[in-house]
Amino acid sequence: MKPATSFASWPAWLGLCGGFALAACQYLIYIYAPVESTMGVVQKIFYVHLPLAWWALISGGVACVAGIAYLHDRQTRWDHLAHAGAELAFVLSTLVLITGSIWARHSWGVWWTWDPRLTTALVLWFLYAGYLVLRHLDLPAPRRAVLCSVVGIVAFLDVPLVFFSARFWRSIHPAVFASEQGGLDPAMRVAATASVLAFGLVWWSLLVLRARSIALEARGTALAARLMDDE
């Protein structure tokens, strides 16, 4: 008899579903959604840039909430989840800055400008880069976890600034879903929404799998330390 599929494998299946969903989104992006009149086909990078940005901010939220939970009850599972969330926030923020620079070059004629949204996004990138540096400090695990939890909470304070910067300050970066600036063509809105949701499935899978791998690594390190003590 073949063994039943373990419930523990659901993140992998979720990621696979997300991959198929992203593949289906390519039809919406390149066929269904119209070509933007000013930027042309280069504007299609928007459908990659937007999901990366949204889920980078949500990853920061996960790191913040998990950090608060760890400070409350000191359970290591929260620390592992915060670690995974911060890593995803850093990786996705890096990709956001790269894709945003490509968009800026074709839209504004420069690779970078100190626009409020770009500046706050860069600050966020540095905050999570610092968080990951702290993760590798030679400190007792509980002390390091507390320190990282605090930094993760503080770093999240920049997330609302990134999200609302195009509305709070004069910015050349468009507020994508703001009707005052025209918003999106309905077909573009469908493609963008589908891309965000599809990437969310992949993101969820990555978050859970990375948190589990961090937990396994911590157990392995603890076991190796005990074996060395026994010797």
SS3 per-residue string spanning 143-175: HHHHHHHHHHHHHHCHHHHHHHHHHHCCCCCCC
Residue 118 pLDDT: 87
Find the angle CA(149)-CA(153)-CA(156) to the nearest 5 degrees.
Answer: 140
Q: Are 112 and 118 in contact (CB under 8 A)?
A: yes
- C-alpha 27/C-alpha 4 separation (Å) is 35
Q: Are 70 and 78 in contact (CB under 8 A)?
A: yes
DSSP β-bridge partners for residue 40: 36
- C-alpha 62/C-alpha 105 separation (Å) is 32
- C-alpha 2/C-alpha 79 separation (Å) is 36
Contacts of 141 (CB under 8 A, 6+ apart): 218
pLDDT tens, N- to C-terminus, the chain (231 residues): 444 445 568 888 888 999 999 999 999 999 999 988 778 888 899 999 999 999 999 999 999 999 999 999 999 999 999 999 999 999 999 999 999 998 888 878 888 888 888 889 999 999 999 999 999 888 888 899 999 999 999 999 999 888 787 666 666 566 565 545 446 788 999 999 999 999 999 999 999 999 999 999 888 877 876 777 666
| Two tokens, residue 52 | 């990366």
First to last CA, the chain: 43
**Strands of 88-207, DSSP E:** none
Residue 182 pLDDT: 47
pTM of the model: 0.87
What's phi and psi for 53, nearest 5 deg? -65, -45
DSSP β-bridge partners for residue 19: none
- C-alpha 108/C-alpha 213 separation (Å) is 41
Residue 17 pLDDT: 92
